[in-house]
Amino acid sequence: MVLGLATATAAWGQAPGMPGDMGFNAAVARLFSEVPAFSANVETTLTNKADNSRLSVPMRMLKNGDRFRIEVDFVKMKGAGLAMQGLSAIQNIGMSRMTSLVLPKEKGMVVLFPELKYYTKVTLEEADLASDGYQMSKRQAGRDTINGQACVRQNVVLTAKDGTRTEVTVWENPALERFPVRMLFRPEGASMMMNFSEVQLTAPGEDAFKVPPDYKGFNSIAGLMQEAMTRALSPK
C-alpha cells in the first residue's frame, strides 16, 4: 500500500529539470511570479520517451501571493504503469485524493487527505522554493492558438543560484494578462505538458490555504499512512 502511494506521486517525473511531487517546484513557481493570484484546472501529461508511455493526471491549482494549493484526485488518472497498478491500494486506505498547500514563508508544505481528514507537514529545502535568486530569460518563438485563443509562444530559461538551468516552452495568453496557459518541460528521456483551463485571475479565499479544524495532524507521512492502514483494516 505504501508503494502504491509512492509510485503514484513519483510518476510526475524525476528527470533533471522536471517538476517534482505534484508537478510543483521552484521552477514552476517562478513561471507564475508575474501572476499575483489565480485558480485553474490543470491537465498534466507525463511522457516516457523510452517506451512512449503516458500518464495523464487532472488537478486543480490555486495561487495567492507566493502560496499555492494543488488538489489531485488519483482516481481520475489515465495511463499505464506502476502508478496505475498502485491506484487500488491507495483507494483502499482512503488516500486517493490529496491536497498540497505550499507555504514558502513557513518553508514547508502541508499535505492533506480529504477522505481521511488527516494531514502532515513537510519541510521544503530552499531549492524547492521560488526565490529572487532564480534568473528568468524569455525569447519569443512564435504564436499559436490554444483553446481557441491566440497565444504567444516563449522559450524560457530558468537559472537557479547554483547554476542549474531549466528550459521550458511557455504559451502566454494576452487575453488573460499573459497567463501561461501551457508549459512544456523536455528534459532528457521524458517530457511533461501542463495545460491550464477555466482560468480565473481573482484571489482565492484565505481558507483555501488553511488546514480545516476537524483534520487530525501527524508528525510524519509514515505515521499518517500507518494510521490510515490500521483504520482501513479495522472492523467496520
Nine cell digits for residue 21 = 511531487
51 CB contacts (<8 Å, ≥6 apart)? none
pLDDT score, position 84: 62
pLDDT score, position 83: 58
Average confidence (pLDDT) per 10 residues, the chain, 236 residues: 38 37 67 93 86 83 94 84 66 86 89 94 75 80 93 92 86 96 86 93 96 95 89 79
Distance CA 66, CA 37 (A): 9
pLDDT score, position 156: 94
pLDDT score, position 19: 38
**How many angstroms separate the Cα of 136 from the Cα of each of 71, 85, 155, 172, 199?**
27, 38, 10, 15, 23
